[in-house]
Amino acid sequence: MEDLRSVVAFTSAAAEVVLPHFEMQCPEDGRPRQALIAALAFVRGEPRSRAQRVSAPAAHRAGREAESEVAFHAAMAAGDAAASAYLHPLADSVQVKHIVRAPAHAVRVMELTGSPDEDTDLAALLDGFASHATSQLSDVLRRYPRIGLTPSRTSETSSRISARTNRINGPMSEIDDWLRRQSTPGAEAARLTEPS
């Protein structure tokens, strides 16, 4: 269970940074906040519960209903943080998304909000993630195959939602690679911001 808590601590850290972007644009919608609260309760030692199972899809619905792409990605990060409490041990690359999707959505929020010093903000975000990217988390990730870059194909998903989701495939792959290279917490956070 501690392995799972390390995963949820990482995904929650990513969601926590960007959730205010959703809340500024959709102040009446508390679903993503409830998902993050449920995820953090698990991180603090509470058992997995219905709270994560119910709040994760509710946050995802809030994201899909949001008009703005920023709000979409911020809500999805919160939903993914709660969903990551149910990472399955089956060695399937789909499971890797439970680990890397929340931070990939957070990176996309940072890209979209385009602050004056985008590189510095992204580096700070990655440094924040790195403090939660423990060697235990990297060990969990290495149990799974690498993530693929194939676009999402959910027939019931609208093209707008599908297009939004496909934009995080690159960051998911980069985060996957970065976490697999981790030997010590935070050792390679800067590599994601270096030009290739």
Contact predicate 130/175, CB 8 Å? no
Instruction: Pull the structure tokens for residue 155.
Output: 């027939």
Instruction: Pull the structure tokens for residue 55.
Output: 């709040």
Q: 107: which residues sit within 8 A by CB, 6+ positions away?
A: 122, 125, 168, 171, 175
Rounded to 5 degrees, φ, ψ at 80 are -65, -30
Instruction: Pull the structure tokens for residue 22.
Output: 């959703």
Q: 99: which residues sit within 8 A by CB, 6+ positions away?
A: 7, 10, 11, 84, 87, 137, 140, 141, 144, 176, 179
Quote the distance between the C-alpha of residue 16 and its chain's center. Answer: 10
| Alpha carbon distances (Å) from 160 to 63, 69, 109 | 12, 10, 16
Instruction: Pull the structure tokens for residue 46.
Output: 């509470």
Quote the distance between the C-alpha of residue 69 and its chain's center. Answer: 15
Contact predicate 52/39, CB 8 Å? yes
pLDDT at residue number 159: 39
Give the DSSP H or E segment for 3. Answer: helix 2-25
The closest alpha carbon to 59, from 86, 37, 43, 41, belongs to 37
Residues of the chain with pLDDT under 50: 150-165, 184-196
52, with CB counted inside 10 A (0-12, 13-18, 19+), is buried
